[in-house]
Structure 1
Amino acid sequence: MTKDDQLDAAFSALAHPARRAILAQLAKGTASVNALAEPFDMTLPAVSKHIRVLERAGLISREKNAQFRLCKLETAPIQEIASWTERYRSIWEARFEALETLLADMKENDT
C-alpha cells in the first residue's frame, strides 16, 4: 500500500463518528472489543466491523490476550495525517486572516 493509499484509508476510516469515538477511547489505553462496544447503542458485530475498518486503515492493531482481543491505537498513521494537514496550515491561516480583514471592513462600512 502506498503512502497515499494509507492516507486515503485513514481519512476514510475517520469519516464515521463511531470510529473516531473508538480512537478517542483507545487514546486512553488498550481496550477489549467489549469495552470499546460498551458506550455504543449498536450490536457487538456492528462495532467489530468498525474496528476492522480501523485495523485495515492501520489506525489500530489487535492482539489476542487469553480469551480477549485487545485493541491498541497505532500512532504512525495519525502522525502522517498531522503532517499532511500541517502542509496546508499556512494556506488556511492566510485565508482566515483575509476573511477576518474582509469582515472587519464590512462591519466598518455598515456603521
Structure 2
Amino acid sequence: MGRFRLPDTLPEIQLSPERQAALIAEVDAVVQHTLELRGAFAAGGRQLDKEARKLVKTKDDVRAYRSRRALHGVASHHERSDMLSSSSSSDSTSHRSTMDKITSIASSTSSGDSDTS
C-alpha cells in the first residue's frame, strides 16, 4: 500500500496493539460477512430486491444501491419477515455496532484522545 501523499491532512492515529488487533478482527468479520452476502446474491440468480433497495448513484455500468431500511430507519415487509425467520438476525446489529465503534474511535482520535503504544 502506498503512502498518503497529503502530509498533515489527517493526524496520525496511535493505537495500542490490543485496540489495533480488535479493529483488524472487526474489519475481517465485516469483510467475511460481505463475501458471504455476495455469494448468496450470486447463488440467488443475481436478482436485486428493488423493494428493499434504492438506486442512489449510477456511473457508466456501475450502480450503487442503498438499503431502504437505512434510508428510512424501518424494515420493509420482506426484511421484517427475513429477520423473523433468520437465526442470525443479530448480524446487522453486530455490524452496525462495528461501524459505531469505528466512528467513535475516529472521532476520539481526531480530538486528541488517542491511545499511545
Q: Name the TM-score class by shorter chain.
A: under 0.3
- RCO (CA 8 Å, sep 6+): is it higher in 1 or 2? 2
TM-score computed with the length of structure 2 as normaliser: 0.26
TM-score computed with the length of structure 1 as normaliser: 0.26
